[in-house]
Structure 1
Amino acid sequence: MEILALVWKLERTEWIAFDTGISHSVKEGLKEFVHKYWECPQIIPRCQWGAKPHNGTPLPLSLPLDHLFVHHTYTPSAPCLTFSDCARDMRAMQRFHQDERGWRDIGYSFVVGSDGYVYEGAGWNTVGTHTRGQNSIGYGVSFIGNYTALLPSRHSMDLLRHQLVQCAVGGGRLVSNFTLKGHRQMVNYTTCPGDALFSEITKWDNFRQ
């Protein structure tokens, strides 16, 4: 109800905007508000899950991108069902990627938990380290868990398939005719995102062999 009330108030200010010459600003603000709170899933920012700083200078992406690569973490192998568990898994993955693999940051652009949230990794504007040779042309989104034999929950998959994709396209970060692929299609040394999940994403819009 608070969101609806705020939208109503913003719309009711339009007559003021015409008088003061700020109509465009009001409309753009309303558009951004609707995009962020209606089209996008709730994305947990880095500061909330306890991310360490990026090592070195972040490399900027050139938007919009035209690929989306789907991963599973494999390790952690179990889905995280609460915010505290998912945040712990995010910190563990970042620590492994930075300290063991020598990467600048957690490799994924975003990570989907089974607690109903999407977690910010490298994010919308920074090159990740998720798909060798393809990091600058696409986002890498991973599901926490091992999905070789089982699927993530339907709600978790919908967070990516519908909400995060809609958010990316609507925000001008991903072209509408983007290509969706599994990690295994781009390299020959992994079965990521797991047999079960890969079979599932072949049925999704924008999937390409």
Structure 2
Amino acid sequence: MESNTPQQAGATPVPESVTNALMRIQPPYNSFHQHNGIPHMGANGYGQDANASSGARARGASMSSNTNNTLQPATTSVINLSNSSDVVIGPMTQYQGSVTIYQYMDATVEASRIASGRNNQNRGLPSTEQSTVLRQERYFLYGVLILFTIIAFSTALYFIINSKESDSSPRQPDILFGNNYVSGTLPNLGNGHLIIDRRNWGAQEAVRGRYPLKSPIPYVLITHIGVQSSPCMDMHRCTILMRTIQDAAVAEMGLPDISNNFYLGGDGFIYVGRGWEIANAYANQTLAINFMGDFVRHQPNEKQFSALEHLLAHGVVENYLAKDYKIVAHNQTKKTRSPGPYIYERISKMPRWSTCGTPGYRVCGSELGLPPVWDQDFPKKQK
């Protein structure tokens, strides 16, 4: 057996932070250091041969006495063994009684780990920074869940309240077109032009015209009320005016019913007089439409002209009016101020207006055999 013991290499001093950590984690070492005079780690370190590249490396710690009765850490030795058996390195010492062994190298390594933040106790545990990040992520997820819960609850509450309100509110009847509508509803010709039938404005039930009106109708006659009548601007006033007109026609003029087939109110509604199936008081084979008011003094509003256009379009679609029907003013068929200059100026510019009855033109309805004066239901004056 050959033994090669190199010279002691220069010991690497232990950092101050490691020494302090060693003092904190190893109270027994600290006490032993104070009572046995172990030199400070900064003065005597533990070294390792820098040239040892292979072979067995043995490290240990031993104490020996010198002239100053102090303990020195052992140096690192390199021993090369070949073809040997039963090798014992170092003295074989037997102790009787209690023995305490201090592992100074392990304490030094542990202190180094503490100083660098790699303590064995913290191994495998998340760092404080990671724990903080996880805690923040957890709080964020909790906040998102709470927010979604609040939104879902608010949405459900909104729909519940709306459903209750819709159930409690009365349902409006559907507005239908034409004559086949449910009793109690008002048909609408579009653009807010409601049809107010005889029952809704309070017509006398037993009153009815004499002659039936055959379709399609070739002439449309435009009249007005006159007699210094102000235009009615809402359903309440217009229905009162309709009842007044009917009462005057029956009681004062001796007519079988109200004069015209339809009446246009200032509210834009269309009030049914004799309707589509009964001839008016002026001439058979004509449809008489009245502007409610005195339009010698007043101007009609646009709602009334819009109602006229919708009513005429409805008559053509439903085949009540002829495809080539003609529009004439009341003063073209009889000496009268009706329908007033304001209305006559407007209807004379309509595409379906006819020049009949004006100077130089034939009498209106002469091709149908109608009389020169259209007043079939009015009492004849005695000569």
Letter of the 1:98 partner, please give it: V
Deviations 1:168-199 (A, max 9, x none): 111100012111000000012x0110011111
> Could you tell me which residue of structure 1 aligns to residue 132 of structure 2?
none
Distance 1:78 1:6 in 2: 30
2:222 counterpart of 1:70:
yes
> Could you tell me which residue of structure 2 aligns to residue 11 of structure 1?
none
Match for residue 290 of structure 2 among 142, 150, 154: 142
1:1-16 to 2 correspondence within 5 Å?
none
Match for residue 327 of structure 2 among 154, 159, 180: 180
Contact 1:54 1:104 in 2 (8 A): no
Deviations 1:128-186 (A, max 9, x none): 11x3xxx21111010111111432101111110x2000011111000121110000000
Q: Residues 96 and 57 of structure 1: is their aligned pair in 2 closer, same or farther, counting only changes over 3 Å?
A: closer
Distance 1:202 1:47 in 2: 34
Provide the secondary structure at the position in 1 that maps to 2:315.
helix
Match for residue 80 of structure 1 among 206, 229, 232: 232
Displacement of 1:58 after TM fit? Answer: 4.2
Contact 1:39 1:167 in 2 (8 A): no
Provide the secondary structure at the position in 2 that maps to 1:96.
helix
Q: Residues 37 and 78 of structure 1: is their aligned pair in 2 closer, same or farther, counting only changes over 3 Å?
A: closer
Displacement of 1:203 after TM fit? Answer: 0.6
Displacement of 1:6 after TM fit? Answer: 10
Contact 1:78 1:145 in 2 (8 A): yes
Name the one with the larger helix percent.
1
Name the one with the larger strand percent.
1
Deviations 1:35-82 (A, max 9, x none): x65569421000000000244664211111100000110136101011
> Could you tell me which residue of structure 1 aligns to residue 266 of structure 2?
114
Moved more, 79-88 or 144-153: 144-153
* Percent of matched pairs sharing the same residue: 25
Runs (4+) off by over 3 Å: 36-41, 54-58
Contact 1:76 1:144 in 2 (8 A): no
Aligned residues: 177
Match for residue 306 of structure 2 among 146, 158, 166: 158
Letter of the 1:119 partner, please give it: Y
> Could you tell me which residue of structure 1 aligns to residue 345 of structure 2?
199
Q: Residues 64 and 92 of structure 1: is their aligned pair in 2 closer, same or farther, counting only changes over 3 Å?
A: same
Contact 2:263 2:292 in 1 (8 A): yes
Match for residue 315 of structure 2 among 144, 164, 168: 168
> Could you tell me which residue of structure 1 aligns to residue 366 of structure 2?
none
Distance 1:196 1:141 in 2: 16
Q: TM-score, normalised on structure 1?
A: 0.76
Provide the secondary structure at the position in 1 that maps to 2:271.
strand
Distance 2:226 2:295 in 1: 7
Letter of the 2:259 partner, please give it: G
Provide the secondary structure at the position in 2 that maps to 1:89.
helix
Q: Residues 96 and 178 of structure 1: is their aligned pair in 2 closer, same or farther, counting only changes over 3 Å?
A: same
Distance 1:38 1:73 in 2: 23
Contact 2:175 2:188 in 1 (8 A): no
Distance 2:226 2:209 in 1: 28
Distance 1:84 1:140 in 2: 23
Contact 2:216 2:321 in 1 (8 A): yes
Contact 1:76 1:146 in 2 (8 A): yes
Displacement of 1:115 after TM fit? Answer: 1.2
Q: TM-score, normalised on structure 2?
A: 0.43
Provide the secondary structure at the position in 2 that maps to 1:176.
strand
For the pair shown, the structure with the greater C-alpha radius of gyration is 2
